[in-house]
Amino acid sequence: MPDRTTDEALLARACQGEEAAFLALYERYRDPIYRFAYRLLGSAVLAEDVTHDCFLSLLRRPEAFDPTRAALRTYLYAAVRNLALKQFRRPRLEVTLDDLQAEPPATEAQQPLRQLLAAELSEAVRRAIDGLPQLQREALILFEYEELSLAEIAAVVEADVGAVKARLARARENLRRELAPYLAGGTGERELEK
Amino acid sequence: MIDEAQALKLLLAGWRAPAAPDRLRTRVVASYRQLMSRDAAEEGAEMKYCPSCHREFAPQFRFCPLDGLPLMAAEQRDARAAFVEARQLESNNTRAAVSTVDETIGFDDVTTESLPATPIVAQANDRTRARAEYHLTILAEAGLIARLMTEVRAVALESQLTWPEFRRDPAGFARRTIAGYSLLLRRRLAQENVAYGLVTAFVVVLTLLCTVVAVEHFHRRHVTMTADNVRDDLDYLGPVTVIPTPTKAEEGPAGMADHGTGGGSAQNHERPGGGGGGGDHEALTASNGRLPQATLEPPLLAPNVKPPVIENPHLPTPATIQADPTLFPTDPRPLPYGDPKSQAQELSNGSGDGGGIGDGHGGGVGPGNGTGYGPGEGWNTGGGPPKIGGGGPGCCGGTTDYASRIFKPSETSKRAVILSKPEPTFTEEARKENVTGEVILRMVLASNGAVTNIQPIKGLPAGLTERAIAAAKQIQFTPAEKDGHKVSQYVTVSYNFNIY
């Protein structure tokens, strides 16, 4: 049975020291927050750090979250974005073997050739998105992967909806140019079928 | 049919992100527990207060960053407030008499007995009591190093305590610090006699300064007047500068320019070549004089020490030599033409032929053969076949002292050739002592055929060096040559002494 307790109530109880409430909150948002951090930073280790700091900052300064302005999910995305920007200002860390092992394993149903093509495609997409400017990248990840609405993205990145739309359009245009070899044959799926 | 937007969406779906690892959950939960336990501990601790500015500080602080006073707990503050009220009620009359005493000092003196002696309060009491004591001298009982260390420790401690506050709010910290020090200054100035004391000190220092300046001014004026009285006969001409000693221009390959080390008008540094000579079959050697104008064109008129006098010539033609004008600037001296190297004073064109001046041939000046100057052939100067040099003006080349100067082998045009080199013999002493090795000698193969200036560079004992020198004196050789002259040349000769 899904937990119907609101985020605000869970947060209030967590701040009072109720560990179960904090865990419920954590389980509710850990995957999207971690995925967003991972896609922004490109490193599993850094994504772990940012996710950890994000949840802890929620408890250290609970008054910073205003439920009347945005949902907790949006607030957490904005916190991750700010923490990631701090990480970007630091010297970039090398990708370790742990990072590589943290990549999602291929399913058993995938054939070796299919796995190889999927890995290549995934790497190409990752490189193309990684090459986007910061503002375009975060807007695209929030829209395409986290499926936030334009208004929510605008709240996260502290910009208006029009600016978010423009960033998304430019990001898609850049991606089409970067991924043209994979789009030329039709679709990515068709590329994989070949 | 899938349009491009959908195709891009499908492509983007190919990049999958991993799920959050389980270890992250453990880490977050541990941090949550730690945070909660610390918050609980902080809630239990009491806030502290500054007795002077009444600000509130976190429990970990011990001193007020503004006043430097030890912070006190809430019950101590309440006790202090009660004390102040009681004091106001009880000692209204006596307060006027002791109003100059710092309120903090008075309070601390009493709290020594009335309040529980916690370490912080005890420390504050010690400090304030020490401050309240009156000393007849500024010298304290503690040594200089000890007092310095105490101050350094205090500064370090206060910096450590105030650093978190400064980092949290730098602007506010600076503002509060300035306000605190301003308040402190106002309090100090408000004390009785402090302002009078400061003004008096200022006036005294200013008077002293003015006195020193006046005395200095009077002394300087007196010294100036005394100096003027002593030597009226001297005039100031200017500062003494170091008189430069005339230095001889470095010798160039050729020319009479008296400066420079070049070899002519070409751009790259190159030695010139050529020469000239002349004469008129006279018995006397060519006389001393100035050279005519040098030009690269062949001369129309050869120089003559006794030029014929032509009244009102239709086409005045000056005598010239064919040489690089860079090496021979115009000689303005009012002298007849002649050979500048010659010592003869009686006018003579010399014993050569072909016109010109000197002992050579051809229309030039000097012992060479051609229309130039000096030993050499063709034209120009420098010796050997004619050639335009480069690198700017040169000097002294025409006055090379071939007889007395000793040349290096590389400076000669033909090196000395050793015809025979007798080997030295062993001495008996060296034979007995089995002395073997090499003796290296540096010597001069002089232009007159003699071996001179023998200097051992590497010697051997037992008289072998002397034997080598004796053998070197018997060397026979053909002297080196430069510009057709026999010259002296340095050589290095080695003798091996081996016993087989």
Average pLDDT of every residue of chain B: 76
**pLDDT score of B356 more than 70:** yes
| Range in A34-48, B220-234, B305-319, B381-395 the model is least confident about | B220-234
**Cβ proximity of B415 and B480 under 8 Å:** yes
B181 pLDDT band, cuts 50/70/90, is confident
CB atoms within 10 A of CB B200: 11
Pair B48, B159 in one domain: yes
Q: Which of A60, A125, A189 sits opposite B12 (nearest CB)?
A: A125
Percent of chain B whose predicted confidence (pLDDT) is above 90:
4
Q: What is the pLDDT of residue B211?
A: 95
Q: How far apart are CA B431 and CA B436, in angstroms?
A: 9
Asked, for residue B23, whether it belongs to a domain, the answer is no
Pair B54, B165 in one domain: yes
Interface test with A, best of B4, B16, B23, B38 (most A CBs within 10 A): B16
CA distance B168 to chain A (A): 15
Q: What is the pLDDT of residue B345?
A: 82
Q: How far apart are CA B63 and CA B45, in angstroms?
A: 17
Domain limit, last residue, from B150, B176, B191: B191
Q: Which of A32-41, A82-91, B3-12, B328-337 has the highest mean pLDDT?
A: A32-41
**pLDDT score of A88 more than 70:** yes
Interface test with A, best of B3, B12, B35 (most A CBs within 10 A): B12
**pLDDT score of A190 more than 60:** no
Asked, for residue B5, whether it belongs to a domain, the answer is no
Q: What is the pLDDT of residue B99?
A: 41
Pair B91, B129 in one domain: yes
What's the mean pLDDT in B223-230?
59
Q: What is the pLDDT of residue B206?
A: 96
Q: What is the CATH number of the domain that holds B433?
A: 3.30.2420.10
B186 pLDDT band, cuts 50/70/90, is confident
Decide if A17 and B14 are in contact by the 8 Å CB cutoff: no
Pair B140, B199 in one domain: no
Partners of residue B3 on adjacent β-strands: none
Decide if B24 and A44 are in contact by the 8 Å CB cutoff: no
Q: Which of B13, B15, B16 sits opposite A129 (nearest CB)?
A: B15
Q: Search chain B and give the residue with CA nearest A182.
A: B11
Average pLDDT of every residue of chain A: 79
Q: Which residues of A touch B33 (CB under 8 A)?
A: 19
Count of CB pairs separated by less than 8 Å, A with B? 106
H/E element, B466: helix B464-472
The verdict on B206 touching A (C-beta cutoff 8 Å) is no
What's the mean pLDDT in A186-190?
48
Asked, for residue B76, whether it belongs to a domain, the answer is yes
Q: What is the pLDDT of residue B128?
A: 47
What's the mean pLDDT in B359-387?
87
Pair B125, B213 in one domain: no
Q: What is the pLDDT of residue B317?
A: 80
Which CATH architecture does the domain made up of A106-194 adopt?
A: Orthogonal Bundle (1.10)
Say which residue, B366 or B267, is predicted with more confidence.
Answer: B366
User: What separation in angstroms does the CA of B357 have from each of B219, B272, B304, B319, B341?
Assistant: 75, 21, 7, 12, 12
Domain limit, last residue, from B224, B246, B281: B224
Q: What is the pLDDT of residue B235?
A: 64
Q: What is the pLDDT of residue B125?
A: 47
Decide if A39 and B17 are in contact by the 8 Å CB cutoff: yes
Interface test with B, best of A11, A46, A54, A56 (most B CBs within 10 A): A56
**pLDDT score of A186 more than 60:** no
What is the span of the domain harbouring residue B99?
43-191
Say which residue, B249 or B497, is predicted with more confidence.
Answer: B497
B247 pLDDT band, cuts 50/70/90, is very low
Among candidates B470, B460, B417, B422, which has minimal Cα distance to B440? B460
Pair B185, B212 in one domain: no
Asked, for residue B357, whether it belongs to a domain, the answer is no
Spell out the domain ranges in chain A: 1-103, 106-194
Among candidates A77, A102, A60, which has minimal Cα distance to A157? A77
* Interval A10-22: pLDDT, tens: 888 888 888 888 8
User: What separation in angstroms does the CA of B205 have from each of B137, B164, B198, B208, B213?
Assistant: 21, 42, 11, 5, 12
**pLDDT score of B109 more than 80:** no
B215 pLDDT band, cuts 50/70/90, is very high
| Range in B218-227, B314-323, B372-381 the model is least confident about | B218-227
B204 pLDDT band, cuts 50/70/90, is very high
* Interval B485-495: pLDDT, tens: 888 888 888 88
* Interval B35-94: pLDDT, tens: 887 766 665 556 677 777 777 766 656 666 666 667 776 656 665 565 555 555 555 544
Q: What is the pLDDT of residue B500?
A: 66
What's the mean pLDDT in B241-255?
53
B100 pLDDT band, cuts 50/70/90, is very low
Q: CATH number for the A1-103 domain, one of 1.10.1740.10, 1.10.150.20, 1.10.1040.10, 3.40.50.12280?
A: 1.10.1740.10
**Cβ proximity of B455 and B468 under 8 Å:** no
The verdict on B1 touching A (C-beta cutoff 8 Å) is no
Pair B109, B123 in one domain: yes
* Interval B154-171: pLDDT, tens: 888 888 878 888 888 888
B231 pLDDT band, cuts 50/70/90, is low
Q: Which of A19, A122, A172 sits opposite B16 (nearest CB)?
A: A122
State ipTM: 0.77
Asked, for residue B285, whether it belongs to a domain, the answer is no
| Range in A7-16, B258-267, B285-294 the model is least confident about | B258-267
Q: Could you give the residue ranges of the DSSP H alpha helices within B263-399?
A: none
What's the mean pLDDT in B10-30?
84
Asked, for residue B253, whether it belongs to a domain, the answer is no
Pair B106, B163 in one domain: yes
B201 pLDDT band, cuts 50/70/90, is very high
The verdict on A141 touching B (C-beta cutoff 8 Å) is no
Q: What is the pLDDT of residue B203?
A: 95
Q: Which of A48, A56, A176 sits opposite B21 (nearest CB)?
A: A48
Decide if A51 and B33 are in contact by the 8 Å CB cutoff: no
* Interval B298-350: pLDDT, tens: 888 888 888 887 877 777 788 889 888 888 887 777 788 888 888 788 888 88
* Interval B418-432: pLDDT, tens: 888 888 888 888 888
For B373-446, list the strands marked E by DSSP. Answer: 377-378, 383-387, 406-407, 417-420, 437-445
Asked, for residue B425, whether it belongs to a domain, the answer is yes
* Interval B234-243: pLDDT, tens: 666 666 555 5
**Cβ proximity of B124 and B215 under 8 Å:** no
Among candidates B396, B389, B342, B395, which has minimal Cα distance to B365? B342
**Cβ proximity of B290 and B331 under 8 Å:** yes
Q: Could you give the residue ranges of the DSSP H alpha helices within B231-325?
A: none
Q: What is the pLDDT of residue B82?
A: 59
* Interval B425-461: pLDDT, tens: 888 888 888 888 888 988 888 888 888 888 888 888 8
* Interval A147-173: pLDDT, tens: 888 888 988 888 888 999 999 999 989
Decide if B18 and A103 are in contact by the 8 Å CB cutoff: yes
CA distance B14 to chain A (A): 5
Among candidates A167, A185, A144, which has minimal Cα distance to B15? A144
Terminal Cα distance for chain B, rounded: 107
Tally of domains in chain B: 3
Tell me the HSE value of B152 on the side-chain side, using a 13 A CA sphere.
Answer: 6
Pair B85, B220 in one domain: no
Pair B180, B203 in one domain: no
Pair B177, B49 in one domain: yes
| Range in B223-227, B248-252, B394-398 the model is least confident about | B248-252
Domain limit, last residue, from B191, B207, B234: B191
Max intra-chain CA distance, chain A: 57
Q: Which residues of B touch A52 (CB under 8 A)?
A: 24, 27-28, 31
Asked, for residue B161, whether it belongs to a domain, the answer is yes
Q: Which of B4, B6, B17 sits opposite A38 (nearest CB)?
A: B17
Say which residue, B205 or B85, is predicted with more confidence.
Answer: B205
CA distance A118 to chain B (A): 7
**pLDDT score of B122 more than 50:** no
| Token pair of B206 as six digits | 């200013």
